Amino acid sequence: MTVQTTPVRMVLDCDTGVDDTLAILYAALHPAVDLLGVGSVWGNVDVDTATGNSLHTVHLAGRPDIPVARGAAGPLTGAPPVFAYHVHGRDGQGNAGTGRAVGRPAGETAAEQIIRLVRAHPGEVEVVAVGPLTNLALALGLCPQLPGMVRGVTIMGGAALAPGNVTEVAEANIWCDPEAAAAVFRAPWPLTMVGLDVTMRTTLDDGHRARLAAGGSIGGYVSDILDHYLGYFASVAFGERRSCMHDVLAVAVAAGTLVPTLAPTVRAFVETGDGPTRGQTVCDLRGMYMGFPPQDGASCRVVLQTDPAFADEVVALIAGAGDSAVPLDREEHA
Amino acid sequence: MTVQTTPVRMVLDCDTGVDDTLAILYAALHPAVDLLGVGSVWGNVDVDTATGNSLHTVHLAGRPDIPVARGAAGPLTGAPPVFAYHVHGRDGQGNAGTGRAVGRPAGETAAEQIIRLVRAHPGEVEVVAVGPLTNLALALGLCPQLPGMVRGVTIMGGAALAPGNVTEVAEANIWCDPEAAAAVFRAPWPLTMVGLDVTMRTTLDDGHRARLAAGGSIGGYVSDILDHYLGYFASVAFGERRSCMHDVLAVAVAAGTLVPTLAPTVRAFVETGDGPTRGQTVCDLRGMYMGFPPQDGASCRVVLQTDPAFADEVVALIAGAGDSAVPLDREEHA
């Protein structure tokens, strides 16, 4: 595990379902990350559930000092949001959450929090977004100077050469709000796209769950919430109990703790038309047969290969995190 | 080299540039193919040049009995055709053709010829199209019963998981006439798509050219026309003198002489919208992580992997074809 001398300052924007929980834990626990704040957004679940889960997770990690700001409840266009409870459970925690409300959201929106934290550390903050990109698009609208003030933006989202997971070509985070994603892809900041090309290739199985369960109560909790998630992926993607760990890959790539083995910087944009390719991330990878020579206008680093053994590092970090600072028995509702 | 007991009856539709010439030669020379007719279409070059090149090629192969029918001069919509002389040379033969007009086209259009030949051998004819799909769409329009009468349709065209070669996502044959391609993908016939996923991976180099040149005069001619083609691919695709051999792969897959090592049958369609993904072949490959389970409504066999050593077989066949039946010195124009 590579640890940089200076931790990367990070704001993490999440639609906190199961894999987002791992991403927050990784960012909160790993010494290579200085997690300044978490924003919540609609997506996997509604934004209130996502906010509650994010608060629960920072407390779980023993980091109640990390502010959690509530963000957008639906896409930029005002179209009705569509959630993925079948993937993440009705509580966004694989139906294995505690049901406990812990802490309170910050007094600003997630978009405002991004702007405030970036302004506080000019040139130093990596904005990592692992849900629909609505909050980032709103932040761009509120503060057009934002691209010149960030260290960079890393997203979990999109698919370059891999199939989509909502449509044949569209990945869920992009498909949920293509107009917001288009704004994020167009903005003049260094963008890193950690999409299905790699996130479908780094997976957790019941062996990993057993190692988590053998750790402290934090690991035990993560093992519990992964049960439903592995079952979902077994039925729709892998044909066996094995799940992606999408979001944490983006955090680790942004932190420099997961170094891509292939990640060309190319032109990329999001299809926002109403046709069947809506929500596709169109990446210009035509240079692949000659080792991706430099492209004019290229600003998107598309991560195409990472080491699948990264899953073991995540499991080791969380299994070794010890015991939770919050009660993990399920809250009983009268 | 696998040779089937009964040769596959084939009609071959070409926009005869350099790689089409190899495809016609392979189909005309290989004992596994019974080449009933060749149709020409606009695409790499204008349809008259394509027709002349196809006639020249069947004569070159010593098969003046194979009829060549002239087809469409531009796309279905009436939009102006766009050609690729920079790829195939002004004569479609790498600027190394003989300039000789040999033989005469048939007295029917390429679409009419497809229908006539299919009707003459119900259930037996494989229609192989390696240019824009305009003639096939016209044949469907003229004879809606056609899908029930063919053995199948195999195209060189499209890109499933590989980048496009005209736009980020569109391959040239589909991009040239997306509406025609959409009709071909929608029609209820068994369709095999041999696209950039494999054709960019099977290439010819100057070593192959030397083996062709060491054969008879047919091999010598093919070596000559490949010179410009290798130069083109060096500059735009590979960074070294190496060319694709796109079209012959479709002929060989149709003939059964090249057996794909991965070719799932899935739902597939062509994007005909006016946006940036126009001309994309959208293939539903979401089942790839569980070995492509059967899909309702799937009728397109998408070839994703073939053995690149197939190039050697093509070179051996053509190098061993002996001497041309037509003079191969360049016709001098006053």
Return the DSSP state at B7: P
Beta bridge partners, B40, equal: B14
Q: Which residues of chain B have a Cβ shorter than 8 Å from any chain A Cβ? A: 161-165, 168-169, 200, 237-239, 267, 269, 271, 273, 275-277, 280, 282-286, 288-291, 293
Return the DSSP state at B299: -
* Residue in chain A nearest B197 by alpha carbon: A161
Q: What is the pLDDT of residue A334?
A: 40
CA A291 – CA B108 distance, rounded (Å): 47
| Cβ <8 Å between A273 and B269 | no
pLDDT at A269 over 50: yes
Task: Say whether B281 sits in a helix, a strand or coil.
Answer: strand
Residue range B122-127: average pLDDT? 98
Give the active site residue among A56, A59, A88, A246: A246
Residue that is written with structure tokens 């329009």 in the block: B141
ipTM of the complex: 0.93
| Cβ <8 Å between B163 and A238 | no
Residues 6+ away with beta carbon under 8 Å from B12: B23, B24, B27, B35, B37, B38, B39, B128, B129, B130, B251
pLDDT at A171 over 60: yes
- Rg of the Cα trace of chain B? 18
Distance from CA of A130 to the nearest CA of B (A): 21
CA A27 – CA A36 distance, rounded (Å): 10
Q: Which active-site residues of B does the annotation give?
A: 15, 246
Q: b vs e for A265-301, b when ≥16 Cβ sit within 10 Å of the residue's Cβ?
A: bbbbbbbbbebbbbbbbbbbbbbbbeebeeeeebbbb
Q: What is the pLDDT of residue B332?
A: 65
**Residue B5 pLDDT class (50, 70, 90 cuts):** confident
Average pLDDT, whole number, for chain B?
A: 96
Instruction: Report the percentage of chain B scoring pLDDT > 70.
Output: 98
pLDDT at A67 over 60: yes
CA B278 – CA A208 distance, rounded (Å): 43
Q: Find which of A277, A285, A292 to mutate to test the B interface (most B CBs within 10 Å of its CB).
A: A277
Token reading at B17: 């540039």
pLDDT at B326 over 90: no
Q: Measured between beta carbons, which residues in chain A are less than 8 angstroms from residue B162?
A: 161
**Residue A180 pLDDT class (50, 70, 90 cuts):** very high
Q: Which residues of chain A have a Cβ shorter than 8 Å from any chain B Cβ? A: 161-165, 168-169, 200, 237-239, 267, 269, 271, 273, 275-277, 280, 282-286, 288-291, 293
pLDDT at A1 over 80: no
Token reading at A202: 């780094």
Q: Measured between beta carbons, which residues in chain A are less than 8 angstroms from residue B290?
A: 237-239
Q: What is the pLDDT of residue B333?
A: 55
Shortest CB distance from A282 goes to which of B237, B277, B290? B277
Residues 6+ away with beta carbon under 8 Å from B227: B94, B96, B209
Average pLDDT, whole number, for chain A?
A: 96
Say if pTM beats, i.e. exceeds, 0.90: yes
| Cβ <8 Å between B286 and A161 | no
Residue B316 has phi, psi (to 5 degrees) of: -65, -40
Closest residue by Cα to residue B279 from B170, B121, B158: B170
| Cβ <8 Å between A290 and B239 | yes
Distance from CA of A280 to the nearest CA of B (A): 9
Residue A208 has phi, psi (to 5 degrees) of: -60, -40
Residues 6+ away with beta carbon under 8 Å from B334: none
| Cβ <8 Å between A237 and B163 | no
Task: Say whether B125 sits in a helix, a strand or coil.
Answer: strand
Q: Measured between beta carbons, which residues in chain A are less than 8 angstroms from residue B171?
A: none
Closest residue by Cα to residue B52 from B30, B86, B21, B19: B21
Q: b vs e for B171-205, b when ≥16 Cβ sit within 10 Å of the residue's Cβ?
A: bbbbbbbbbbbbbbbebebebbbbbbbbbbbbbbb
Closest residue by Cα to residue B13 from B92, B86, B60, B70: B70
Distance from CA of B170 to the nearest CA of A (A): 11
Q: Tell me, yes or no, if A246 is annotated catalytic.
A: yes
Q: What is the pLDDT of residue A325?
A: 84
**Residue B325 pLDDT class (50, 70, 90 cuts):** confident
Task: Say whether B301 sits in a helix, a strand or coil.
Answer: strand
Shortest CB distance from B161 goes to which of A161, A237, A282? A161
Q: Is B281 left (phi over 0), alpha (psi -120 to 50) or beta?
A: beta
- pLDDT digit string, tens, across residues A77-92: 999 999 999 999 999 9
Closest residue by Cα to residue B160 from B31, B295, B265: B265
pLDDT at B74 over 60: yes
**Beta strand pairing status for A191-194 and A152-156?**
parallel
CA B197 – CA B199 distance, rounded (Å): 6
| Cβ <8 Å between B163 and A271 | no
Shortest CB distance from A286 goes to which of B163, B284, B293? B163
- pLDDT digit string, tens, across residues B285-311: 999 999 999 999 999 999 999 999 999
- pLDDT digit string, tens, across residues B183-221: 999 999 999 999 999 999 999 999 999 999 999 999 999
Question: Please, what sign has the CA dihedral across residues B254, B256, B257, B258?
Answer: positive
**Residue B334 pLDDT class (50, 70, 90 cuts):** very low
Task: Say whether B69 sits in a helix, a strand or coil.
Answer: strand
Shortest CB distance from B165 goes to which of A163, A237, A286? A286
DSSP string, A61-125: TT-TTS-EE---SS-TT-PPP---HHHH-TTSSTT-S-----S---SS-HHHHHHHHHHHSTTTE
Assign 3-state DSSP to chain A and report helix, strand, coil percentages, each to 5: 40, 15, 45
